Structure 1
Amino acid sequence: LINPNTWLDAGAQVFFSFGLAWGGLISFSSYNPLHNNCKNDAIILSVVTAATSVYAAMVTYTIIGFRATAKYDQSRIQRQLWGWIFSPVTCKSFLVRYLYSFLTLLEVLHASHMSVMSFQGVEGPGLAFIVFTEAIINMPASPAWAVLFFIMLLCLGLSTLIGTFEGVIVPFTSMPRINLCVSGVTFLTAFIITLLFAQHSGFYWVTLFDNFAGSVPLLCIGLFEIVIVVYVYGVDRFNEDIKFMIGSKPGIFWQVTWRFVSPLIMLVILIFYLVTQAQGELTYLVWDPSSVS
């Protein structure tokens, strides 16, 4: 928990889960009736998102555990086979005994590093495209699970895409001709950018975008949004707007959260991360063309 990257990733996950700082929520809210109860919507969204995150975490760690167990069982069978072939009972050669001792040492080292092997590639894009795929292959009725899993990924991608582009297109809906042009230019630009991900180095670009474009920028945008609403536009005016919509002002919990808790948490995480990064050496992954045959 001392590592600021942990808190940064946790904060970014909150932004991803709720769709904050992407513009999608603001765009979708523009379709609501004038007197829509936005407070109840916020509570329902928070509860459903939290429950979904807990459920997704349970499924994710179950899959990771299944993968680790399968890897360990496969490795154990291989070690037992080699141990039987090179056992002193099978052959009395000094060299073979030496190999048997070496295999025993490898088994001890393997057991000590089991946790490292179990969690290789379980973060970032590798979780969906490597770990889950590898685990699904070893499951009963693997074709059915594979189809369901990638249909789920497709639905998640499309829903995220729609919400993201709504934040760009909705402000121009009052101008039909301009709206059509903006939609075309936006989708064409996105299509050209995503051609990077279809190259041999596509996974590298996905990882690069995931590491540098999905955490700090979202945190900064979210911090600026809440500061502008609370301290520039004014929280009192904001309360009056909500009272006009739902008939009552938000309670003390919302006031304290908007004024102090949320800005302070985001500011502390951001400063802690930037200070830690400035004190260390900045590094990034480099694409190795030889990794693709």
Structure 2
Amino acid sequence: MVDYTCEEQCTEMNENGSQLKTEPQKQCIEREKWSKGIEFVLSGIGFAVGLGNIWRFPYLCYKNGGGAFLLPYFICLITGGIPIFFLEVGLGQFMSEGGITAWNICPAFRGIGYGTTVICFLLNTYYIIILAWAFHYFVNSFNGEPAWGKCNNPWNTDTCFNSALSKSANANRSNIIQMVDPVVEYWERKVLGISKGIDDVGDLQWELAGSLLVVWILVYLCVRNGIKTSGKVVYFTAIFPYFMLTVLLVRGVTLDGASEGIKFYLKPDFSKLGEAQVWIDAGTQIFFSYAIALGCMTALGSYNEYNNNFIKDCIFISVANSCTSLYSGLAVFSVLGFMAKEQGVPIADVAESGPGLVFLAYPKAITQMKWAPVWSVLFFFMIILMGLDSQFVGVEGFVTAIVDLFPSTLRNPRRKEMFILITSIISYCIGLTMVTNGGMYVFQVFDYYAASGMVLLWFCFFESIVIAHFYGVDKFYANIAEMIGYKLNSWLRYCWLWFTPALTMGILLFSTASSPPLTYNRTYTYPKWALAIGWTMALVPMMIIPVYFFSYLLTREGISLTQKWKAATRPILKNNLSR
């Protein structure tokens, strides 16, 4: 369904909600809507449920007290993650605008929208690199026995040792300790061709460059026609990974040592709850996994019908997201328990966060299973689908924000398609820096700074403050009631007013003060110039909020600061005739 609003008007409202002035739009505007409500739900699940559920949550859970970690996780979830998630979707649905223009609800803080759009663009350029890695493994899984399980390949060194040798680890530990697993050599020497540091970029890894091109073409084809296409694709990409997780879990729990792995994953250690880092990890994981402060959830909400019950949808997405994290942890640690027993090492030695879990631990486990090529194909196909889901929505969120900023120019279908093509080409070119010999170091700088917990927490703090204290929490509650047809209880109100700002700013300050310097494999230290680039990527979007606020405030009509303040914070709302 398309929402035709040929006589759509922008209306500036005063603080009492009455109309001040009306500005007719220049032309007939077409803005898409979801064909079915389930498409919004599946898109939300597809974006929020991503690789972080597989390679970050299980690691943090075992690291921070196993089952005890669930207590701070759920506290941060209900006081921080869910309130911001509901806020962003509700804002998008109420305003029927993307991540930038939705903040016309309080124009002085439109810098929130510009900042989150910058973050979204940076995220899209580096997140897809993971899909390029996965696509490489996926394609090479069809070549019979996985090449990463053997030591007789051109890229292997004299220090490579195979799994049969590793079984005698207890007898030959002194000799093996200097050796390198073939899975590690395949990852670092074949896939990455990794150099000695970020200042040694080296050459392109042509296989990865080709893989990156393929996944960008897939993303472009699914996004170019807007939600008419991507809304249909998510029927498969959002559902199939759950089938694969179930298959992997069933296989994992039948492996020798699986019970020890699951026990290690969930065994409560309540002494950890007294450590500040546990609460920091819980909070940052929530904001990572719910994909908020990127403008994308606002974009998804903007395609809802005005009277859609987004509260019900958001509850379902939230439950699916958190349950997926727990569920995937069972699958992951059942396999890690098997690996630990096979190698004769503690589970902690094979459990890690990040790419190491997907591209080292799991490929190693696959080589030790019967029908290894089949498991490899299925596993990396699941990784690709989960990543593509998130990438679709990330690109759609960025495109929606820019198109809504220039509707008369970019909402034309051909121009919009060309804009998506240009965006994809530019993003691909930036991504090429991450598929060079030094690409992993570049990728880590982007991952650590561009869409880091510090940046996301900063924007979540301002989102809750602006809606609750500048636009007015009671007014926003009334808007929600108008949309869904009933009044909410007061929990979200208190969260937006007090709990969420306190939580986000508290975690932001503690995590910034305690965050370790960026390293690779705990041995390589980044040069100062690389860290400066990283901090620039983090601080530029963060500083857009205050810079835009003061520039907008000082250019408003009025002599006194009070007059300027009223003009700067006065909502600019649309009179959508279809409502």
Q: Provide TM-score, normalisation by structure 2.
A: 0.39
Query: For residues 165 and 9 of structure 1, what CA distance do their matches in structure 2 show?
Result: 27
| Residues 55 and 169 of structure 1: CA distance in aligned 2, closer, same or farther (over 3 Å) | same
Give the helix-richer structure, 1 or 2.
Answer: 1
State the match for 2:303 in structure 1.
Answer: 31
Aligned pair partner of 1:60 in 327, 332, 336: 332
State the match for 1:264 in structure 2.
Answer: 502
SS of alignment partner, residue 325 of structure 2: helix
| Residues 179 and 11 of structure 1: CA distance in aligned 2, closer, same or farther (over 3 Å) | farther
Give the number of equivalent residue pairs: 243
SS of alignment partner, residue 305 of structure 2: coil
Structure 1 unaligned runs (5+)? Answer: 73-110, 289-293
Query: For residues 56 and 254 of structure 1, what CA distance do their matches in structure 2 show?
Result: 29
Query: Which deviates the most, 46-55 or 197-206?
Result: 197-206
Aligned pair partner of 2:433 in 196, 218, 228: 196
Q: 1:16, CA displacement in angstroms?
A: 3.2
Letter in 2 for 1:176: R
Letter in 2 for 1:242: I
Query: Which deviates the most, 236-245 or 257-266?
Result: 257-266
Q: 1:8, CA displacement in angstroms?
A: 4.1
Query: For residues 137 and 116 of structure 1, what CA distance do their matches in structure 2 show?
Result: 20
* Identity among equivalent pairs (%): 29
Contact 2:366 2:372 in 1 (8 A): yes
Query: For residues 58 and 247 of structure 1, what CA distance do their matches in structure 2 show?
Result: 40
Q: 1:5, CA displacement in angstroms?
A: 5.2
Query: For residues 425 and 349 of structure 2, what CA distance do their matches in structure 1 show?
Result: 42
Q: 1:3, CA displacement in angstroms?
A: 6.0
State the match for 1:218 in structure 2.
Answer: 456
* Deviation per residue, 1:88-141 (Å, 9 max, x gap): xxxxxxxxxxxxxxxxxxxxxxx7xx355333xx21111111111111211222
Aligned pair partner of 1:252 in 490, 497, 505: 490
Q: Provide TM-score, normalisation by structure 1.
A: 0.74
Contact 1:124 1:210 in 2 (8 A): no
* Deviation per residue, 1:151-188 (Å, 9 max, x gap): 11111121111111112111305333553453233212
Query: For residues 167 and 70 of structure 1, what CA distance do their matches in structure 2 show?
Result: 44
Structure 2 unaligned runs (5+)? Answer: 1-271, 527-579
Alignment of 1:132 with 2:362, yes or no, is: yes
Letter in 2 for 1:192: C
Q: 1:9, CA displacement in angstroms?
A: 4.0
Q: 1:269, CA displacement in angstroms?
A: 0.6
Aligned pair partner of 2:411 in 176, 185, 200: 176
Q: 1:35, CA displacement in angstroms?
A: 0.3
Q: 1:200, CA displacement in angstroms?
A: 2.1
Task: Give the alignment of 1:234-249 within 5 angstroms.
Answer: 234-249=472-487
Query: For residues 446 and 491 of structure 2, what CA distance do their matches in structure 1 show?
Result: 36
Query: For residues 335 and 448 of structure 2, what CA distance do their matches in structure 1 show?
Result: 23
Query: For residues 513 and 281 of structure 2, what CA distance do their matches in structure 1 show?
Result: 16
State the match for 2:379 in structure 1.
Answer: 149
| Residues 18 and 115 of structure 1: CA distance in aligned 2, closer, same or farther (over 3 Å) | closer
| Residues 179 and 3 of structure 1: CA distance in aligned 2, closer, same or farther (over 3 Å) | farther
Alignment of 1:117 with 2:335, yes or no, is: no
Contact 1:8 1:215 in 2 (8 A): no
| Residues 163 and 264 of structure 1: CA distance in aligned 2, closer, same or farther (over 3 Å) | same
Contact 2:288 2:453 in 1 (8 A): no
State the match for 1:103 in structure 2.
Answer: none
Query: Which deviates the most, 126-135 or 174-183?
Result: 174-183
Q: 1:283, CA displacement in angstroms?
A: 4.8
| Residues 197 and 9 of structure 1: CA distance in aligned 2, closer, same or farther (over 3 Å) | farther
Task: Give the aligned CA root-mean-square deviation in angstroms.
Answer: 2.4
Task: Give the alignment of 1:75-86 within 5 angstroms.
Answer: none
Letter in 2 for 1:165: V
Aligned pair partner of 2:446 in 206, 209, 219: 209
Contact 2:454 2:512 in 1 (8 A): no
Give the strand-richer structure, 1 or 2.
Answer: 2
Contact 2:519 2:525 in 1 (8 A): no
Contact 1:223 1:267 in 2 (8 A): yes
